[in-house]
Amino acid sequence: MQRQVIIYDTTLRDGTQGEYISLSAEDKLRIARKLDEFGIHYIEGGWPGSNPKDARFFEMAKLATFQNAQLTAFGSTRKANIKVEEDENIKALLNAGVNTVTIFGKSWDLHVTEILATTLEENLSMIYDSVAYLKEKGKEVIYDAEHFFDGYKNNREYTIKTIKTAMEAGADYIVFCDTNGGTMPHEIEEILKEVLSMVNVRTGIHAHNDSGLAVANSITAVRCGVDMVQGTINGYGERCGNADLIPIIANLQLKMGYKCIPPEKLKHLTELSRFVSEIANMPPLPQRPFVGKSAFAHKAGVHVSAIIKNPFAYEHIDPSLVGNRRRVLVSDLSGKSNIEYKAKELGVELSDKEYSRRIVEEIKRLEDKGYYFEAAEGSLFVLIKRFTEDFEEPFKLQALRVGIEKNGSEASSCHATIKITVGNEEEITAAEGDGPVNALDNALRKALSRFFPNINEMKLVDFKVRVIDGTEGTAAKVRVQIESRDENEIWTTIGVSENIIEASWQALVDSILYKLIKDKEKELKYKEEMQHVREGNNI
């Protein structure tokens, strides 16, 4: 029988203490619903006694229904030298309207005497009174033993007294906290082997990542026998962050045989990680284990050749188990295997193996000049198509001119003139824009729309410029990356030149070529399907 590990998420409280992360009450409720849907057991909603936003979140949450998770309110033990029923923080916990509360107390004598400036005995009373009072009010109480491991290493006897006091008061869980994140995995193991025999209630681990060991320490604690893991989605949190629940859940469930969440939910792990990143307005890390965009990306030709034969040669799990996917990258390190795999993925048929060799040579030549096809699959698609027999250039540039006018302090104006040929027809157009690239884009679209009206369906959604080598100053080579979209998909194209207008032109042309080629392929496929239908009806 699988051993159940309780997953306790503190993204909405501890996670928001991370730098650059701020969540509104509405954001927190959206994330809470997603966590509940995913199968998380406890969701720490915030500290209702610390700020109006968290108090408002708990008011909103009273109207929400959670199917899987217990919503938890977080706070501290009562203040020193006051009655527990008079403590405003304790009152706020009771008013939060939740069945479970988590309170932290001091386990390290240094914090008691120097930070709280009270006595060791008073601290024990604060722990006992707070837990006992909350239990008397019918709450499930999770006691976080703050700075437990540092306290244990400095004054073992007193630290043990603090958790025994919480147990005597009726705590349902004792959670051992590595609050400073400095404890090593072997220390976690040695200490927990001693302590767990003294604890007669369920236990948990709360690790911070200051030594880069929060995930390892959490898994070590589970192996030692703790029942609960506390952490955050994507490891968000103060300083270097908290234990990242993403790799913890994946490792425990896929590799170690523990049950964390319902098995059918595991395939939504990548979705959950990216959802929280989006709400928190934090860019998803490509290298994040299990769920990152690069987690199952293969670049070296030797690797790609191997995974075509057997993916497990270079992958520790099947990416689909966590909702991710395998990606083959194309760069100057690529071999023919990369190109053949990528062409198939992009829907391009290479009828001759010689094409693969020539494409590899061309990519290596271009990347030496500063191109970067890993981040521009639209341009890669166009490049590969150029080597196929059925490729026809839809239009040709004859001439272009871009001008900028500025009079005194007035805003500058930009205009572009373009001369192109489509087949035997010639078109000359001019257009204005907010900047030279925008003017160029407008003129090109205007010139082509008479021949290809479907380009009006696409729009430019992002434009990035990067200086490749800054040593040449204003004469340095630049890389322009353009992201475009229509109602069906998003694609990225690239251009490189010492002239930013020329680089932008290359990226713009690739972007439009991608749209025209894809639409032509869809049209041909539709005609073939209709032909099959007609032939079927004639039988």
Tell me the CATH number at 223. 3.20.20.70
Q: Last residue of a domain, which of 260, 288, 310?
A: 260
Tokens of 174: 């004792």
* CB atoms closer than 10 angstroms to residue 149: 28
Backbone region of residue 333 per phi and psi (left: phi > 0; alpha: psi in -120 to 50; beta: other values): alpha
Question: CA-CA distances (angstroms) from residue 267 to 153, 249, 271?
Answer: 40, 12, 8
Tokens of 412: 């500058």
pTM: 0.73
Q: Last residue of a domain, which of 210, 226, 260?
A: 260
Residue 495 domain-assigned?
yes
Domain count, the chain: 2
Residues of the chain with pLDDT under 70: 301, 329-337, 351-352, 469-475, 536-539
The pLDDT of residue 157:
98
Computed from CA positions of residues 10, 16, 17, 18, in that sequence, does the dihedral angle turn out positive or negative? positive
Beta bridge partners, 9, equal 43, 231
Q: What is the domain extent for residue 196?
A: 10-260
Residue 183 domain-assigned?
yes
With beta carbons less than 8 A apart as the criterion, state whether 263 and 233 touch. no
The pLDDT of residue 190:
98
| pLDDT digit string, tens, across residues 409-453 | 777 889 999 999 998 899 999 999 888 888 988 999 899 998 999
Residue 289 domain-assigned?
no
The pLDDT of residue 469:
66
Residue 478 domain-assigned?
yes
Return d(Cα 307, Cα 309) in angstroms, integer.
5
Residue 83 domain-assigned?
yes
The pLDDT of residue 370:
84
The pLDDT of residue 538:
65
| pLDDT digit string, tens, across residues 52-73 | 899 999 999 999 999 999 999 9
Residue 214 domain-assigned?
yes
Return d(Cα 393, Cα 416) in angstroms, integer.
22
Q: Characterize 384-414 residue by residue with b for buried, 16 or more Cβ atoms within 10 angstroms of its Cβ, and e for exposed.
A: bbebeeeeeebbeeeebebeeeeeeeeeeeb
Residue 312 domain-assigned?
no
What is the DSSP secondary structure assignment for residue 178, as one 8-state letter? E
The pLDDT of residue 298:
82
With beta carbons less than 8 A apart as the criterion, state whether 37 and 26 touch. no
Residue 326 domain-assigned?
no
With beta carbons less than 8 A apart as the criterion, state whether 291 and 322 touch. yes
Whichever domain contains 425, its CATH number is: 3.30.160.270
Q: Last residue of a domain, which of 214, 244, 260?
A: 260
